[in-house]
Structure 1
């Protein structure tokens, strides 16, 4: 599933958009390569002020420095820009220069504004690949906070399993991933964010619900286990034997719950996937304290992140662990 989120409200005064990021067009005034932007600024300021003194005050230079700049500019162009030395009346060339100069300055200032905004992660695009439990229960409030100060950042969120998260990040389709820990190797690296205990999901009338203690692996002897990609990470030999005997494998949590409710078997899922009550099913604790998964960030090793991706990474590392702890505490009745 791919969800695209575009936050483009309240554009800044420069009114730039995403197309400006891809192609920044520095249009040149066809008056020679020696004309400097600051000389154009001085000329435009003098033309708009109507005299050198006020213009010099506006640009923070002396009147003699402004006069010298105008003289050099006229020499480079090859003609007078003002009709008199008082600089209060433009020649035809001066009027043309004023129009082109304003256009050039606006274009340059806009381009600089875009580049600064991109460098400070205020604009750009961010592609995130995440396991469903995090995409559903954690990322919505995280993204809401992150985008509060970045309303023009474009976000694309892929809701997929851990193996696909790794592949999307490694191939460059996703800027950053959030997934369960996998074996080391390849072109990605893993940064742990939180640990998530596995729990047993069964019908609420199952005999295991009468236990007044956490469920042992031995309690599942003879039970029908519905496999899913997440529980394959459990290292317990008893669980591996149960999984090997399973005839049903389902990856979607909604479908898993439906099959459990229908009495087709039990399943084992991370706590974070248990958000929201499911009528007709019970969530039971497992006695095996090692039955847990590490969830964290998946990133490319060889390519530095964009400013937006780097900002989101720092935000995620700071915010996600505390948010998950609060969320899991609520689920566990803490």
Structure 2
């Protein structure tokens, strides 16, 4: 009824309004009459519908505002349903943010230009809190099962010792193992808790410094404070001042899992990003 009234008011005749609406003039006249009956007062000064009454002028202004708002709302709903619009919140570890997500987000945002993405990096404990507190829609971290969330293994990468390129360990690491770290200043971090080798336990327990943030951790290694243990993705290509030394006597690997709410609890935009992450080729993310 509002659309019919607006068309007649702006065209000034039933015939012209009917053409725009794709209806017959008699159908437009009947709908307009029903609208005036609903309002309880005439909206046009004559049967020719060329001039609005004062009440008609007020309703016309209100109708224009409401129809614009309605059309925008419908467009937004449709866009979200098609993953063309929306907002997705990602919580990931620093290495995932730096290595894994850039090409995925580049392609995703090109395909979904109306979607806004909020990417935050942190340690796995912080990411789990954000996910369970509904501050994140998608989490990528070293996380175990969480009730109420779907869990999918994304990739694994090997652990290794990270030290300065000029550190003595880097010269002959191929002949060294856990025991050779016994007399080296070791900087612990949260991921060390995932190493179950008994030979590593005294090294972890002997660490005098524990650092959670990866960027701070690598800065300390660069400064010669000590060496640390990290997954391979944490050391970016081009960081020539650092060395990643794969563990000789350990098969330990870091696992990156994607955790999300069930599909029916996610927005279409979030589901589309989950699909993009799962379909990405992550076999050799450093290449």
TM-score relative to the length of structure 1: 0.73
Q: Is the partner of 2:135 in helix, strand or coil? A: coil
Partner Cα distance (1:204, 1:278) in 2? 9
The match for 1:283 is 244
Distance apart, 1:271 and its partner CA? 0.8
What are the residue-to-residue correspondences of 1:108-123 with 2, within 5 Å?
Answer: 108-123=70-85
Q: Is the partner of 1:327 in helix, strand or coil? A: coil
What are the residue-to-residue correspondences of 1:139-288 with 2, within 5 Å?
Answer: 139-151=101-113, 153-182=115-144, 184-211=145-172, 213=174, 215-220=176-181, 222-288=183-249
Distance apart, 1:104 and its partner CA? 2.5
Unaligned runs of 5+ in 2: none
Within the alignment, does 1:298 sit opposite 2:259 as a pair?
Answer: yes
Distance apart, 1:302 and its partner CA? 11
Partner Cα distance (2:166, 2:42) in 1? 95
The match for 1:135 is 97
Distance apart, 1:185 and its partner CA? 4.2
The match for 2:67 is 105
> Cα gap change, 1:99/1:202 in structure 2, threshold over 3 Å: closer, same or farther?
closer
Distance apart, 1:46 and its partner CA? 2.3
Q: Is the partner of 2:258 in helix, strand or coil? A: strand
Contact 1:181–1:295, Cα closer than 8 Å, also in 2: yes
Partner Cα distance (2:11, 2:158) in 1? 71
Contact 1:214–1:286, Cα closer than 8 Å, also in 2: no
Unaligned runs of 5+ in 1: 1-38
The match for 1:70 is 32
Within the alignment, does 1:46 sit opposite 2:46 as a pair?
Answer: no
> Cα gap change, 1:48/1:207 in structure 2, threshold over 3 Å: closer, same or farther?
closer
> Cα gap change, 1:303/1:72 in structure 2, threshold over 3 Å: closer, same or farther?
closer
Distance apart, 1:81 and its partner CA? 3.2
Instruction: Out of 164-173 and 197-206, give the one that drifted further.
Output: 197-206
Distance apart, 1:262 and its partner CA? 4.9
> Cα gap change, 1:214/1:145 in structure 2, threshold over 3 Å: closer, same or farther?
farther
- Paired residues, what number? 287
Contact 2:45–2:52, Cα closer than 8 Å, also in 1: yes
User: Over residues 260-283 of structure 1, what are the superposed CA-to-partner deviations in whole Å (9 max), with x where a residue is unaligned?
Assistant: 445544322111111044454322
> Cα gap change, 1:214/1:232 in structure 2, threshold over 3 Å: closer, same or farther?
farther
The match for 2:271 is 310
Partner Cα distance (2:101, 2:146) in 1? 27
Partner Cα distance (1:239, 1:54) in 2? 84
Distance apart, 1:186 and its partner CA? 4.5
Partner Cα distance (1:47, 1:234) in 2? 75
Contact 2:8–2:49, Cα closer than 8 Å, also in 1: yes
User: Over residues 77-107 of structure 1, what are the superposed CA-to-partner deviations in whole Å (9 max), with x where a residue is unaligned?
Assistant: 2333334444334444443433332233222
